[in-house]
Amino acid sequence: MTMALVQNNTLDLIGNTPLVLLKGPSEAAGCEIWGKCEFANPGASVKDRAALWIIRDAEARGELKPGGTVVEGTAGNTGIGIALVANARGYKTVIVMPDNQSKEKMDTLRALGAELVLVPPTKFADPAHFVHTSRRLAEETEGAVWANQFDNVANRKAHIESTAPEIWQQLEGRIDGFTCAAGTGGTIAGVGLGLKAFDENVRIALTDPHGAALYSYYATGELKSEGTSVAEGIGQGRITANLEGAPIDTQFRISDEEGLEWVARLLREEGLCLGLSSGINVAGAVELGKQLVAEGRQDVRVATILCDTGFRYLSTLYNPEWLRAKSLPVFPWLA
């Protein structure tokens, strides 16, 4: 696979990420497991794509004009992606986040030039919730748009138009299955729809962390959660607009311990430093691979998403004290 390594515009650095064959997961599944390296985006996560598509969509609809402001309620990767894209396009960024988030995230967003509005954490039904606060702020601010990543389908369009065709081309049109977890659902729905448009036989599996309601929804039709997870950026309790009509064929539920095991192995054995959602995705991809192999399919190929860099979690996943406080296993080399 060759790729364009020269770009005339920094925003063209978003997407066109490498796809890598993962050795340990492939051995465990008995087939090829491929990881899409979304940590290679400028903001080091898969959310740069959503940020770019959301901002371009707002421009195309005439809502976002030169000097305007992009407002979003998020504590994580979406905020980072929006801040970078907004800088490149000449917009201001306002991020509303709960004040219990890690200092690292606040520092990162401030470092990128975003204005941070901190609100006390509260339940979604409360009008003071950070998502509702961000919407109101956008309404009240002259020249501002609300990114609304959960229900703005420009998010999943990014994956229909970029991630899915890239995976299809990188695997030369031969792929049996795709899986990843859902936060907004933009990635799983968009890649699922995009791959099915090339080949409707590609099996699309949702990989759900504990504490989320989608595994149960796709298995039984009922939104019901079980357990908890410390994974950031994933775990959804409702059918967002981005998830509506997602072509989910099957589903897996993966624990933090299983995800952490793959985070540890990929780091120690393959030299990839990733966040926990990537580990959970890889565990799901191994399950999907095994399922396809057990059905007698030959030369099975499964792809998943390596969502973000582990460098974003030095004070959590890679911090023994934090892990012990959460009763999670500490990586042996840190113990």
Q: How far apart are CA 142 and CA 151, in angstroms?
A: 22
Burial of residue 61 (number of CB atoms within 10 Å: 0-12, 13-18, 19+) = exposed
C-beta closer to ligand PMP: residue 69 or 236: 236
Least distance from C-beta 240 to ligand PMP, angstroms? 9
Please tell me which residue in 47, 92, 105, 157 is annotated as part of the active site.
47
Q: Report, in angstroms and rounded to the nearest whole number, the Rg of the chain calculated over CA atoms.
A: 19
**What is the rounded distance in angstroms from the CA atom of residue 45 to the CA atom of residue 233?**
11
> What track of x and - describes contact with ligand PMP for positions 36 through 75 (by CB under 6 A)?
---------xxx----------------------------
Nearer to ligand PMP, 74 or 170 (CB): 74
Does an H or E element contain 177, and which? Answer: strand 177-180
Residue type, 103: K
Q: How far is the CB of 297 from ligand PMP (least distance, A)?
A: 27
Identify which of residues 31 and 191 has a Cβ nearer to ligand PMP in the complex. Answer: 191
Q: Which of 26, 41, 69, 77 binds ligand PMP (CB under 6 A)?
A: 77
- The neighbouring-strand residues paired with 33 are 302
Of 192 and 289, nearer to ligand PMP (C-beta) is: 192
Are the C-beta atoms of residues 310 and 267 closer than 8 Å to each other? Answer: yes
Query: Is 23 known to be catalytic?
Result: no
Residue matched to tokens 């042996």: 332
| Cβ contact 314:280 at 8 Å | no
Residue in 114, 234, 266, 285 binding ligand PMP, rule: CB under 6 A: 234
Position 193, amino acid: L
Residues 270-289 that bind ligand PMP (CB under 6 A): 275, 277
Toward ligand PMP, which CB reaches closer, 137 or 263?
263
The two tokens of residue 156 are 């999943």
When the beta carbons of 281 and 300 are compared against ligand PMP, the nearer one is: 281
Give me the amino acid identity at 107: D
Q: Is 325 exposed, middle or buried (0-12, 13-18, 19+ CB in 10 A)?
A: exposed
Task: Give me the DSSP letters along 38-88.
Answer: GGGSTTSBTHHHHHHHHHHHHHHTT-S-TT-EEEEE-SSHHHHHHHHHHHH
Q: Does 204 bind ligand PMP (CB under 6 A)?
A: no
Min dist. Cβ of residue 207 to ligand PMP (A)? 10
- Whose CA is closest to 300, among 205, 187, 161? 205
Please give the Cα distance from 14 to 23 (Å, whole number).
26
| Nearest-approach distance from CB 32 to ligand PMP, in angstroms | 22
State in angstroms the smallest separation of the CB of 276 from ligand PMP.
8
Task: Please select the residue that binds ligand PMP; options are 15, 194, 209, 233, rule is CB under 6 A.
Answer: 233
Question: What is the per-residue binding string for ligand PMP in 164-193, x denoting contact by CB under 6 A?
Answer: -----------------xxxxxxx------
Binding-site residue total for ligand PMP (CB under 6 A)?
19
The CB-of-46 to ligand PMP minimum distance in angstroms stands at 6
Site residues (vs ligand PMP, CB under 6 A): 45-47, 76-77, 181-187, 232-234, 275, 277, 307-308
Tell me the catalytic residues: 47
